[in-house]
Structure 1
Amino acid sequence: MVVAASVVSVAPAELEAKLLHHPSVSDVAVIGVPDEEAGELPKAYVVRTDQRLLADDLHSYLGEHVAPHKRLRGGIEFVSEIPKSAAGKILRRQLREKNKKLSRL
């Protein structure tokens, strides 16, 4: 008998809220990126106020504030801005398309 591994979903808003508390983060969006083993992993697109901020710094920061399964195992990418609608809603579809293009390269 085969038992499927349980998949734990991570709410993007929860990770975004945690990351926004970091003093060098001005904006952030989290999406799920495909993974063969897990199905999907959380990935963050981050607008930083301090160019010296590294992905490792954010991984360490989150490691102190969230459970291990909620860490950004899909990666962190620094961007100049987060795409948003006129109403201020994050346009996650654009980020997923951007990620898909990068994964094809």
Structure 2
Amino acid sequence: MDSEGWLKTGDLCYFDDDGFLFIVDRLKELIKYKAYQVPPAELEHILVSHPGIADAAVIPYPDEEAGQIPMAFVVRQPGSMLSDEEVMDFVGKQVAPYKRIRRIAFVSSIPKSPAGKILRRELINQALSSPKSKL
């Protein structure tokens, strides 16, 4: 607890107009793109709203110029031939320029815990072990 009575949990939250508290992400999961903070959950919500995407996860990917860039792991809907450019354009039209997805990997499934939480560490390890070419 801090001096003002707040419990510091590391969660990113907001209060709505009715005074309800909503937990939207973890501070330690924020992507640090240049001087901006990008919440992966916001991008994941946008990604899964696309009719050609079954599931998605966003991780920080190291970048020499920006520090980190948002990288998306995307599971296509069966029969979808969605390209990485289409995914980036779809998200880019809905977010500020600093929140744009800059790297994509298409996968068959997103690793999750038994409780349904995305196992970001596994995705980060997978991304970092891949060749430096565009995924």
Taking structure 2 as the reference length, the TM-score comes to 0.69
What are the ranges of 5 or more consecutive residues in structure 2 without an aligned counterpart?
Answer: 1-33
Distance 1:53 1:104, change over 3 A: closer
Q: Which amino acid aligns with 1:86?
A: P
| Structure ID, larger Rg | 2
The separation in 2 between residues aligned to 1:103 and 1:43, in whole angstroms, is 15
Please tell me the root mean square deviation across aligned C-alpha atoms, in Å: 1.5
Aligned residue pair count: 99
The separation in 1 between residues aligned to 2:51 and 2:96, in whole angstroms, is 21
The separation in 2 between residues aligned to 1:36 and 1:103, in whole angstroms, is 16
What are the ranges of 5 or more consecutive residues in structure 1 without an aligned counterpart?
Answer: 1-5
Work out whether residues 92 and 101 of structure 2, in 8 Å CA contact, stay in contact via their aligned partners in 1. no
The equivalent residue for 2:86 is 57
The equivalent residue for 1:71 is 100
The answer to whether structure 1 residue 22 and structure 2 residue 50 are counterparts is: yes
Q: Which amino acid aligns with 1:77?
A: A
Q: Which amino acid aligns with 2:93?
A: E
The separation in 1 between residues aligned to 2:43 and 2:119, in whole angstroms, is 16
Deviation at 1:27, TM superposition (A): 0.4
The equivalent residue for 1:9 is 37
Instruction: Specify which structure has the higher proportion of strand.
Output: 2
Query: What percent identity do the matched residue pairs reach?
Result: 48
Taking structure 1 as the reference length, the TM-score comes to 0.88
Question: Relative contact order, CA 8 A, sep 6+: which one is greater?
Answer: 1
The separation in 2 between residues aligned to 1:104 and 1:94, in whole angstroms, is 18
